[in-house]
Structure 1
Amino acid sequence: MRQTLEYTLCRTHQGTPLITLDSPLGNGQENKPDTLRALAYALLDVATQAEQQEPSRKHYRSRKRVVQF
């Protein structure tokens, strides 16, 4: 069964990447090792997207996204 990871990409006031995970992760969920590996790869991809965002004049410009893993 595929799971959904909802997240928001933005930047801090200092201009560094910031990611808000909008999905409940953990909290008693039971996952098999292959599901946890898929989650880890999805999180690595989210981190890469956050770092590749172009800084804007406003430090806080959020972008909501969803990925299935």
Structure 2
Amino acid sequence: MHHPLEYTLCRTHRGTPLVTLDSPLGNGQEIKPDTLRALAYALLDVAAQAEQQEPGSKHYRTRKGVVQF
């Protein structure tokens, strides 16, 4: 079973990468270990995407995305 992980790639006021998780994580959810591992890999992928954003670009826009885990 696939679960969507919605996120927004943005920046802090200092221009460093920031990710907003738009999906309800936690909140009493019961997650099996294999699903929890898949979530961890999905979060690592989102973190890598956030770091690939160009910090000095004047034309930066926030970007929404969804990854399945």
Same fold (TM over 0.5): yes
Task: Tell me the TM-score normalized by structure 1.
Answer: 0.91
Alignment of 1:5-20 (within 5 A): 5-20=5-20
Q: Which runs of 5+ in 1 are unaligned?
A: none
Please report the RMSD computed on the Cα atoms of aligned residues, expressed in angstroms: 1.2
2:27 aligned partner, one-letter code? N
% identity of equivalent residues: 82
Q: Which runs of 5+ in 2 are unaligned?
A: none
Task: Tell me the TM-score normalized by structure 2.
Answer: 0.91
Runs of 4+ in structure 1 deviating by more than 6 angstroms, as ranges, are none
The CA distance in 2 between the partners of 1:11 and 1:57, in whole Å, is 12
Please state how far the C-alpha of 1:49 moved relative to its aligned partner: 0.5
Count of aligned positions: 68
